[in-house]
Amino acid sequence: MAVKRSGPDAGLGEFIRRQRELGHLSVRQLADACGISNAYLSQIERGYRNPSSFVLKALADGLELSADTLYAQAGILDPSDGEAGDVAEAVRRDPYLSARQREILIEMYESFRKVNDSD
């Protein structure tokens, strides 16, 4: 599946460590806040382990940044996913729409915005 597997090679880990240090947190403090063991966090930071989705989310919360930011660092999120107003966001989060329907609604919304700009 092409995705980078473990090994001392972790951009994500380095980023987490830097964020942790910026927040003046010890390995144990952040690990506790995330509900994981300090040993495990240490290994994640040095690229010897890949966190599960739940742990990644917990880390994002503990570091007070969005999961998307961590994903971006993990190299698994297109930075282009960024922007989007509240409407587009609400559409993306709606669990009852198909991908195609979301696409249509967002496109229509953005075309409305565009038209209004030139007023």
Partner DNA sequence: CGTGGGTGCTTGCAAAAGTTAACACTCCTT
Partner DNA sequence: AAGGAGTGTTAACTTTTGCAAGCACCCACG
Which x/- pattern, by CB under 8 A, does the window 80-99 give for a second copy?
-x--xxxx-xxxxxxxxxxx
CA–CA separation, 117 and 48 (whole Å) = 50
Q: Answer yes or no: are the C-beta atoms of 68 and 59 closer than 8 Å.
A: no
Residues 6+ apart with CB under 8 A from 94: 102
Q: Is 46 in the site for DNA (CB under 7 A)?
A: yes
Is residue 57 a contact residue for DNA (CB under 7 A)?
no
**What is the number of other CB atoms lying within 10 angstroms of the CB of residue 56?**
20
Q: Pick from a second copy, DNA, none: which does 91 bind, CB < 5 to 8 A by kind?
A: a second copy
SS3 state at 46:
coil
Q: Note the residue count of the chain.
A: 119
We find the least distance from the C-beta atom of residue 111 to DNA, in angstroms, to be 26
Contact of residue 9 among a second copy, DNA, none (CB under 5-8 Å per partner type): none
Chain contacts with a second copy (rule: CB under 8 A): 1-4, 15, 18-19, 22-23, 34-36, 50-58, 63-74, 76-77, 81, 84-87, 89-105, 108-109, 112-113, 116
